[in-house]
Amino acid sequence: MTTSDVQRSTATGLPRPNARGRALRPTTKVLPEHARGHNRSLVLQTLYRAGSQSRADIARETGLTRVTISDLVAELMLEDLVIEVGQREDARPGKPATMLDLNREAFQIIGVDLSGYSEFRAAILDFDGQIIERAQLPLAGSTGANATAKVVSLVESLVARTTLPILGIGVGSPGVVDLGGTVLSAPNLGWAGEPLQQLLENRFGVPVLVINDANAAALAEHSFGDADSDMMLIKVGHGVGGGLLLDGTPLFGSRFAAGEIGHVVVGTDGGAECACGKRGCLETWLAVPRLEAALAASTSMDERNTILTEAGQRLGIALAPVVGALNLAEVVLSGPTELLDGVLATATIETLRARTMAEFHGDLILRMTTLGEDIVMRGAAVMVLSGQLGVS
Amino acid sequence: MTTSDVQRSTATGLPRPNARGRALRPTTKVLPEHARGHNRSLVLQTLYRAGSQSRADIARETGLTRVTISDLVAELMLEDLVIEVGQREDARPGKPATMLDLNREAFQIIGVDLSGYSEFRAAILDFDGQIIERAQLPLAGSTGANATAKVVSLVESLVARTTLPILGIGVGSPGVVDLGGTVLSAPNLGWAGEPLQQLLENRFGVPVLVINDANAAALAEHSFGDADSDMMLIKVGHGVGGGLLLDGTPLFGSRFAAGEIGHVVVGTDGGAECACGKRGCLETWLAVPRLEAALAASTSMDERNTILTEAGQRLGIALAPVVGALNLAEVVLSGPTELLDGVLATATIETLRARTMAEFHGDLILRMTTLGEDIVMRGAAVMVLSGQLGVS
DNA sequence: GTTTGTTAGTAAAGCTTACGAACAAACTCT
DNA sequence: AGAGTTTGTTCGTAAGCTTTACTAACAAAC
């Protein structure tokens, strides 16, 4: 027996690296029922993405056998999550297939966007993330418990209008949100350690998921927009925030503050004073109130363009190290189109290209979101779909 | 039946978010045998980290039952990966426990470091990442096929000196390395699309894992140093590279070039010309040859400190957006201690603190690696341990 | 109209994996 | 010595997926 024979035979029995070339680091036990849950979600995921399909189609797609798929589908049909929708139309040899689909009429989702400066927004959404009903509530400067009460009241008004059972409530909140849905810090709303998820779950008795607004937006752009599974979304509003999606999963960071780039100092040449006490934070160039103030004071189109170009360049300067370090191929902007799209975005992408290595991201893309103002609510709905069904 | 009753009962059957608060997105089927492999690794992992333990200890630690652990251990003992090492010493009630341990004498690992400017380095390592034997080979300007031949010859010389079967070969290479271990681009070595992993696997008949040198270093710092599971390692040498660890897993990026920050432009005030054609790349301030040249031309200690401070600040400026966006809590430096440690590192951390939001990373740490020059070889060994045993 | 071959879905049996119950062995403590 | 603890094994069972074998239902070709 040669040395290499020993290794070959031993190695065969060992866990191989997965498709991404690395081994899964085991952290907790995995039982057969977990595998089952995974495969269950796999069926839902297949139907969610590809639409109506037969059991045999799903079996081919997933690699599981027809028998197993039949079993899983039976389970999902009992729970009313999957339904049969008749036989396949097009004629082909063999027994006609019974087509299945997600029971898209089974549940509704409530998505909430707390990131607005003057009002809270919420909506009832369907399985496809389409908005069915809307509701708003003027914030009127409420903070602390008053703000919380407004959230509850807004959700209440929508719950009353649902026509189907509620799958869950998703909330996109500004500030720093931990994994348990507690808003650790949201200065504008006067929240510090607000256990929003717990609170809403107790109040409404349905699963609730609270996530940072920019992260929600990034999820929405991935699920409903054209975004890749690795991208950064920059949300420009009253402040500037970011959401990072790596391999389709939001990044949270060591203190749940990943994406918070509004208060990173940009450039080496000073800058305006920021509310945070520093000088030259990204927000001082890019936040909507600052931009609008600067534009209002401008007297010519040239001056206007200079202001927007400067803002775009600053964003590019701030993003360049991030794009380089993460080897990002896609950056998406969300915010007022009339400000961001055009001169500003062009300046940003040009700055980014000039300051990073083209070889590593030849196809670097920067574009506006296609989801408009509903992006956070729809991202919150994605959280629910993903958390409750394993679908996104 | 109330509305909320429906949701509660339905929700129970659905997959719950995992420990990190989000659901796993299913991508491929999971069979019972995969779960088994995971639990196998869990046993190895437990022994690897906590050292000698009894079956019952492992059962308590993992949450699996004694029966299952006995079964898994029996399998691992057959493969000679786990051995019994006698009975527990300390006296306590009950039947004395039979202690188990990884069979640390079962295999050796070969770790290779191709990141040196003048020589390739390699070593035989044991399960604990300790170096048993070393070997070097002067690069002597070799590129392309010649460089590849030197790698093979270096590994050959070490393979001949192994005293146990080889678990695998890990290689830390400069440049951009894809998930299949092909070096897509390594200018210094004249490699473009060099299928190093395939080549070495064919040649030596053992599992081979090739990864970027800075990523390897980051893994080593996590496994053998004190690093957290979220951190960035900056490797300063002939060039400047970085490795990102997020949740204990290296980040690869959209084009496998994550971490490559050497050619990100720093600051808004020009800078020296870089080999890449741009001006003011991080490397122009920080790369060892540039630093040494500048220091050699300096005439006073003050001037020397100014140069090092400037370099440190530039690093801080480049890292600030990354630290902010990823909410990193830890940055580790690897490279010549006499240059990096002290004035330079101090300037970097001060710059970082000044340019990011303290609230989000109150405990931001920047420090030198504790692993010295062996960091890449040891990281390459971690790749093998992780890939072959699921241990790290 | 009949035959041939294909496809969908189901049923039965078997394998793998983990679990719970029960137990013997071996120890400590009183 | 007896009681209580802890370890590790044996035995039987449940869950989950596969293989094999079947029926039903169709298209195409004769």
Query: How close A91 comes to chain B (CA, Å)?
Result: 30
Same domain, residue pair B329 and B239: yes
**CA dist., res. A273 & res. B324, Å (int):** 19
Please indicate, yes or no, if residue A329 is contained in any of the structural domains: yes
Same domain, residue pair A143 and A175: yes
**Among A168-177, A360-369, B244-253, B303-312, the least confident range:** A360-369
Please indicate, yes or no, if residue B307 is contained in any of the structural domains: yes
Same domain, residue pair A335 and A233: yes
Going by pLDDT thresholds of 50, 70 and 90, the confidence category of residue A325 is very high
Overall domain count for chain A: 3
| Beta-carbon separation of A15 and B204 below 8 A | no
| Beta-carbon separation of B11 and A206 below 8 A | yes
Domain boundary among the residues A106, A133, A153 is at A106
Virtual torsion, Cα A183, A187, A190, A193, nearest 10 deg: 30
Same domain, residue pair A211 and A239: no
* Closest residue by Cα to residue A209 from A171, A158, A238, A255: A171
Nearest CA in chain B to A386: B23
By Cβ distance, the residue of A263, A356, A357 closest to B357 is A263
By Cβ distance, the residue of B180, B228, B261 closest to A324 is B261
Q: Which residue has the higher pLDDT, A49 or A303?
A: A303
Please indicate, yes or no, if residue A64 is contained in any of the structural domains: yes
Report yes or no: B391 and B219 within 8 Å, Cβ to Cβ: no
Please indicate, yes or no, if residue A319 is contained in any of the structural domains: yes
Please give the pLDDT value at position A3.
29
Same domain, residue pair B134 and B66: no
Contact with chain B for residue A256, Cβ under 8 A? yes
CATH number for the domain that contains residue A58:
1.10.10.10
Continuous segment of H or E residues that includes residue A195: none
Q: Which residue has the higher pLDDT, A270 or A50?
A: A50
- Print the domain residue range for B64: 33-106
Q: Which nucleotides of C are covered by protein (CB under 7 A)?
A: 5-12, 16-21, 24-29
Do the bridges between strand B82-87 and strand B98-102 make them parallel or antiparallel, or are there none, so unpaired? Answer: antiparallel
| Average confidence (pLDDT) over A346-360 | 89
Please give the pLDDT value at position B363.
85
**Chain B neighbors of A13, CB-CB under 8 A:** 79
pLDDT (tens digit per residue) in A239-274: 999 999 998 999 999 999 999 999 999 977 777 888
CA A166 to the chain's CA centroid: 20
Same domain, residue pair B140 and B155: yes
Same domain, residue pair B66 and B136: no
Interface test with A, best of B14, B20, B102 (most A CBs within 10 A): B14
Please indicate, yes or no, if residue B17 is contained in any of the structural domains: no
- The length of chain A is 392
pLDDT (tens digit per residue) in A61-101: 898 999 999 989 988 998 889 999 888 877 777 778 889 99
DSSP B163-202: SS-EEEEEEEESSEE-TTS-EEEBGGGTBSSB-HHHHHHH
Same domain, residue pair B310 and B357: yes
By Cβ distance, the residue of A179, A269, A387 closest to B23 is A387
pLDDT at A15 over 50: no
Same domain, residue pair B261 and B195: no
Please give the pLDDT value at position B14.
32
Residue linked to tokens 């080549």: B199
Q: DSSP letter at A247?
A: T
Same domain, residue pair A37 and A156: no
C21 C1' to B91 CA distance, Å: 28
- Per-residue confidence of chain B (392 residues) as pLDDT tens digits? 233 322 222 222 333 333 333 334 556 888 888 888 889 999 999 999 888 999 999 998 898 999 999 999 999 998 899 999 888 777 677 778 899 999 999 999 999 999 999 999 999 999 999 999 999 999 999 999 999 999 999 999 999 999 999 999 999 999 999 999 999 999 999 999 999 999 999 999 999 999 999 999 999 999 999 898 899 999 999 999 999 999 899 999 999 999 999 999 997 777 788 888 888 899 999 999 999 999 999 989 999 999 999 999 999 999 999 999 999 999 999 999 999 999 999 999 999 999 998 776 668 999 999 999 999 999 999 999 999 988 87
Same domain, residue pair A318 and A379: no
Please give the pLDDT value at position B8.
26
Interface test with B, best of A64, A105, A211, A265 (most B CBs within 10 A): A265
pLDDT (tens digit per residue) in A285-306: 999 999 999 999 998 999 999 9
- Tokens at B362, concatenated: 């109150």
